[in-house]
Amino acid sequence: MIGFIGAGSIGGAVITGLIKNGYDAKEIVVKGGKSNRTKALQEHLGFKLVQKIKQLEDVNPIFIGVGANALDSVLLELKSISKDKLIIAFTGNATVAKLRQSLPDAKVAHAIPNTPVKVGAGFTGITYSEKFTEQEKKQVISIMGYTGQLVEVPETQLGILGTVAGCSPAFLDLFIEALSDAGVKHGLNRKLAYDAAIGMALGSSKLALQSDLNPSALKDEVTSPGGSTIKGVAALEEYGFRNAVIKAVDAAEGE
């Protein structure tokens, strides 16, 4: 059995991605928060719901999806049942050092998933404490693999990786929304505008993934000499698109 403490936006997305992609719901135990959010998810997905962290005693690994404000109390409660368990926290401020200090008998890791885990297309960065064996890392991969890619990085890179992959679904959604607004401004109906923008983002991502060319060269393939695309690219640059994206990442990084 595997466990989750906290099934909000990201915890719930990982649980959904696991189950929708074939992980047995009967093998998942979840301790939710105060609202009925987790109960609603449980009715939809069929995992086991428990009321107390202690009820996760026989469960391993345990994933933590609570926010920063709830982390300390969760770790305090978890400590007595954490011996030799694999504990993977998604919480932003759950550094390996903090987890290690709070759960000295456990094997801890800090991971930052992104919301596409929900459809098995996630990109999750993870930093393991040195206690993790290669076999235990494989165990985590065998679970998170249901939700997409899992990439191990040193903790010095986990924050920026989490911003580039974890915050940016919101940035891309904003771009898609803006593109759809522009389509509507020029006469498309909203549904067709969204279908076109989303289909384009999906197709362009697939092309970038499968192509030998990097995105800069792929852009060059779209910009016909004297054509409409290069005029659009020039307008994006004039209005600071590239810099706006870099500044968004700076801001998310706290700069």
Q: Are 161 and 154 in contact (CB under 8 A)?
A: no
**Which among 137-145, 161-169, 207-215, 223-231 is the span making contact with ligand A1CAB, rule CB under 6 A?**
161-169
Query: Which residues, 74 to 93, sit near ligand A1CAB by CB under 6 A?
Result: 92
Among 3, 65, 159, 183, binds ligand NDP (CB under 6 A): 65
| 170/218 with CB nearer ligand A1CAB | 170
Whether the upstream peptide bond of residue 154 has omega within 30° of 0, thus cis, is no
Query: What backbone torsions phi and psi does residue 47 show, to the nearest 5 degrees?
Result: -75, 175
Rounded least distance, CB 30 to ligand NDP, Å: 8
| 70/188 with CB nearer ligand NDP | 70
Please give the size of the binding site for ligand A1CAB, defined by CB under 6 A: 4
* Residue with token string 């522009």: 182
Determine the Cα angle at 138 with ends 101 and 22, to 5°. 110
Buried b (16+ CB within 10 A) or exposed e, 18-42: bbebebeeeebbbbbbeeeebeebb
Among 49, 50, 119, 167, binds ligand A1CAB (CB under 6 A): 167
| 35/156 with CB nearer ligand NDP | 35
Tell me if 113 contacts ligand NDP by CB under 6 A: yes
**Which among 31-39, 159-167, 177-185, 195-203 is the span making contact with ligand A1CAB, rule CB under 6 A?**
159-167
Please give the size of the binding site for ligand NDP, defined by CB under 6 A: 27
Footprint on this chain of ligand NDP (rule: CB under 6 A):
5-11, 31-35, 37, 65-68, 70, 74, 90-92, 112-115, 166
